[in-house]
Amino acid sequence: MASSTNIKVVCRFRPPNALELREGGDIVVAFDENLQTVQMKNSQAVSGPEKDGFTFDRVFPMGTKQHEVFDYGVKDIVKDVLDGYNGTVFAYGQTGSGKTFTMMGADIDSSDLKGIIPRITEQIFKSIVESDSHLEYVVKVSYLEIYLERIRDLLAPQNDNLQVHEEKSRGVYVKNLSDYYVSSAREVYEIMRQGGAARVVTSTNMNAESSRSHSIFLITIQQRNTETGAQKSGNLYLVDLAGSEKVGKTGASGQTLEEAKKINKSLSALGMVINALTDSKVKHIPYRDSKLTRILQESLGGNSRTTLIINCSPSQYNESETLSTLRFGIRAKSIKNTARVNAELSPLELKGLLSKAQLANTRHLSYIQSLEAELAIWRAGGHVEPSEWTSADKPTTGAAAAKKATSSPTLSTTRSMTPVNPILEGLRSEIIIDSRPQTPTVVGLDKDEREEFLRRENELSDQLAERESLLNAAEKLTKELREELAYLKEQEAAASKENKSMSTQLNELRLQVERLDYDNKEGIITIDILKEQNQDAKSELEELKKVITDLRSTQRDASAEDKEKRKQEKMALMMAKFDAQGTFSEKDEQLRQLLAKLDTIDTADALSTLSVDDIVAARRQLTESHSLVRETVDRLRQSQEENEMVTRRRDELEARFLSLEADYEELLEKTIHDEETSNADIVESMAEFKNKLEMQYAAKRDANISEVADLKQQLELKSNEIRTLNASIDSLKSVNEELKV
Ligand SMILES: Nc1ncnc2c1ncn2[C@@H]1O[C@H](COP(=O)(O)OP(=O)(O)OP(=O)(O)O)[C@@H](O)[C@H]1O
């Protein structure tokens, strides 16, 4: 049931791509007729046996169809897996060399372009349909990728740090990897599409959509024989490795450069495993150096039928990469795997084994008894003939001899000295074949220690995963905090800038406030001055009022004179008018002359000396004087009326002046009040307003003062006029008296 075979290595060349045609598209490979050897033409780097070419199980030149690769390289594996063997197909090569094209294909729905995985899937379901009716199959699929040394479940991408475990009963497996039961190729395609969409890809110089991770599509087939109850299970690993190229060539940079380093790390671990497996002197195989090699542990030097497809470019542009890929393939070719059926025995088979074991046990016990009997003889100093010695073939011989012995038998502890029992060995080998294969990782440990070691390793790996997720969470948090910090710093910078500009503004405002404060103080001082001026104006006004009151009383005195006096005043006015016109004084003069003439004449002689003409003239003059006095009195009345009108106007003006003064005072008080309560702007506008008011007030006050002065002057004039008229009236009265006399 176990067979040791070399890994099957096939080599596929894709046609040169556009970049290679542009950069140097010469084809540097040549193939032999058998399609097993590829030669590097004119390569300086090739020497020794490599000059004769690189020989593989099969070489597929450019233009090889997808189905040809499948038919030769992979088809047989499907049958093996259905029979309970593990199988692995993995594609190796630089980026853009055609790994994904080979494994998945350019279009899984196209019969020409679909790759190995869809073809395998179809083959599996075809074989199941064609299989014996007493065989039942269960097919499960899982899809994972290893990216930056973390295993991610492509069918449940949130699980991105799965751990590799190993158990005696299960072998190596990925813990908590989701699996889906499938019953048709269509369902598998659907899952492939779903998982493919979650893969990490990026664009490089070599490939527009380069897979940056190693992907593993796992198909598990469980077979159950309904007649015997026997079960078998086979795992098929379909591996699409990430590009094996040197970092520089891909043009990768930034995170992609970091990726390339890590990807190369797991690929170099793969190389190391292959080197160790092909070097007979090396005892330790470093499977545990990477997740990739750990998962593929059974596929490389273990329990698996493995096919490696190396993918290459035929162009000169990628010559060195092609060469290293070919060397990798050659090394891998010498790896030997021992594939065994992963079977679980049916009850019938177990029964058979049990009865075999019981039989062996019985024989073994009798053999022990024979040995012990023989040993007892020897110990007792006896002798057993060589022909009587106990052997596995004739265990009873020794026992018979023992019967002759005297001493009692004891159990020997030196079992290791016991010659090998072929029955036991046969049983042991059968049991080993039927159990899960031992991984070749832990050498020099006995069974219990090994189990303990694996248990502990699994525990530690879980703890590691836990720590890693904690670390990731912490890293995420740190990143978030860093971002927040950066944002806060930005905010702080903006705030301090704003703060700076605000403090400049504040300083300016402070200056303005100080200036306004100063203006305010100045305003207050101005208001004080104005108040003082107002006080002065008030007292001046009081004085004026007093003067006006005096004037009024004087006027009242004047108007209180009787009508007679008014007549006299009129007369005086008339006289003044006449005087002003010269008529009045002329008449006055004529009268005075006439009176003087009369005075010079003796009273006795008066009648004799006065002629008739003189008397007529005197009468005429008297009449004229009378009419002149009348006229003067009229004019006096007129002038009194005018005087009254002027007085009325003055009163009106005074009243207006008083109301204006009251308005002003009210306004001034309001201004002062507003001044005290309003803000700086209002203070400024109030100051302006106050200035205007002051100006208006000053103008009005000046106008009023000048008006009052005018009125005073007019009053003065009128008083003078009245005085003159009164004097004239007095003189006219006396003349009139004299004339009457
Ligand atoms: N044999 C082929 N015939 C025709 N075209 C091919 C062949 N092999 C690859 N190609 C084309 O070359 C390009 C790169 O191929 P692919 O993506 O399979 O490379 P890869 O090795 O998987 O790259 P990476 O490692 O970057 O994922 C694709 O456009 C693909 O269609």
Report residue 551: phi and psi, to 5°. Answer: -60, -40
Query: In this predicted model, which residue has the larger pLDDT, 250 or 368?
Result: 368
Q: Lowest-confidence range among 19-23, 153-157, 216-220, 261-265? A: 261-265
CA of 100 to the centre of ligand 1 (A): 6
| Ligand 1, atom 2, residue with closest C-alpha | 14
Say yes or no to pLDDT of 579 above 90: no
Number of the ligand 1 atom closest to the C-alpha atom of 103: 18
CA of 313 to the centre of ligand 1 (A): 10
For residue 481, give both structure tokens. 């905090």
The mean pLDDT of 691-700, rounded to a whole number, is 78
Q: Which amino acid is at 737?
A: E
The residues, ordered by sequence, that sit 6+ positions from 537 with a Cβ below 8 Å of its Cβ are 701
Give the whole-angstrom CA distance, residue 569 versus residue 719: 11
Residue 213 CB less than 6 A away from ligand 1: no
Give the helix/strand (H/E) hosting 321: helix 319-333
Number of the ligand 1 atom closest to the C-alpha atom of 210: 26
Give first-to-last CA distance, the chain, whole Å: 192
The mean pLDDT of 666-686, rounded to a whole number, is 68
Distances (CA, A) of 426 to 262, 345, 369, 431: 47, 17, 21, 9
Residue 106 CB less than 6 A away from ligand 1: yes
Q: Is residue 88 part of an annotated ligand binding site?
A: no
pLDDT in tens, 510-554: 888 888 888 888 888 888 888 888 788 788 778 878 877 887 787
The mean pLDDT of 283-307, rounded to a whole number, is 87
CA of 272 to the centre of ligand 1 (A): 26
The mean pLDDT of 674-688, rounded to a whole number, is 64
Residue 66 CB less than 6 A away from ligand 1: no
Say yes or no to pLDDT of 575 above 90: no
Is residue 230 within 8 A of residue 346, CB to CB? The reply is yes
Say yes or no to pLDDT of 583 above 60: no
| Ligand 1, atom 13, residue with closest C-alpha | 96
Number of the ligand 1 atom closest to the C-alpha atom of 13: 1
Is residue 728 within 8 A of residue 571, CB to CB? The reply is yes
Residue 55 CB less than 6 A away from ligand 1: no
Say yes or no to pLDDT of 499 above 80: yes
Give the whole-angstrom CA distance, residue 218 versus residue 304: 13
Give the whole-angstrom CA distance, residue 52 versus residue 39: 7
Q: Lowest-confidence range among 206-210, 402-406, 483-487? A: 402-406
Residue 93 CB less than 6 A away from ligand 1: yes
| pLDDT given at position 409 | 37
Residue 207 CB less than 6 A away from ligand 1: yes
Which ipTM did the prediction report?
A: 0.98
CA of 368 to the centre of ligand 1 (A): 67
DSSP lists the bridge partners of residue 220 as 140, 235
Q: Tell me the best of 14, 199, 211, 247 to mutate to test the pocket of ligand 1, counting ligand atoms within 8 Å of each CB and taking the most.
A: 14
Residue 244 CB less than 6 A away from ligand 1: no
CA of 86 to the centre of ligand 1 (A): 27
| pLDDT given at position 422 | 46
Q: Is residue 98 part of an annotated ligand binding site?
A: yes
Q: Give the pLDDT band (50/70/90) at residue 713.
A: confident
The residues, ordered by sequence, that sit 6+ positions from 611 with a Cβ below 8 Å of its Cβ are none
Is residue 328 within 8 A of residue 278, CB to CB? The reply is no
Give the chain's length.
741
| pLDDT given at position 457 | 83
Q: Is residue 96 part of an annotated ligand binding site?
A: yes
Query: In this predicted model, which residue has the larger pLDDT, 420 or 234?
Result: 234
pLDDT in tens, 311-336: 999 998 888 889 989 999 998 888 88
pLDDT in tens, 30-88: 999 989 999 988 767 777 778 889 999 999 999 899 999 999 878 888 888 988 888 99
| pLDDT given at position 563 | 57
Q: Give the pLDDT band (50/70/90) at residue 588.
A: low
Please choose, from the candidates 315, 254, 338, 306, the residue with its C-alpha nearest in 3D space to the C-alpha of residue 92.
Answer: 306
Residue 249 CB less than 6 A away from ligand 1: no
Say yes or no to pLDDT of 598 above 70: no
- DSSP of 524-591: HHHHHHHHHHHHHHHHHHHHHHHHHHHHHHHHHHHHTS-HHHHHHHHHHHHHHHHHHHTHHHHHHHHH
CA of 345 to the centre of ligand 1 (A): 44
CA of 76 to the centre of ligand 1 (A): 24
| pLDDT given at position 351 | 79
639 burial type by CB count under 10 A (0-12 exposed, 13-18 middle, 19+ buried): buried
The mean pLDDT of 302-307, rounded to a whole number, is 87
715-734 exposure pattern, b = at least 16 Cβ within 10 A, e = fewer: beebeebbebbbebbebbbe
Q: Average model confidence (pLDDT) for the chain?
A: 79
Residue 95 CB less than 6 A away from ligand 1: yes
pLDDT in tens, 389-425: 887 766 555 555 545 444 433 333 333 333 344 444 4
- Beta strands (DSSP E) in 175-294 are 180-182, 201-202, 210-211, 214-225, 231-240
Q: Report helix, strand or coil for 148.
A: coil
| pLDDT given at position 418 | 37
Residue 61 CB less than 6 A away from ligand 1: no
Number of the ligand 1 atom closest to the C-alpha atom of 106: 31
- DSSP of 682-712: HHHHHHHHHHHHHHHHHHHHHHHHHHHHHHH
Q: Is residue 391 part of an annotated ligand binding site?
A: no
Number of the ligand 1 atom closest to the C-alpha atom of 14: 1
| pLDDT given at position 396 | 54
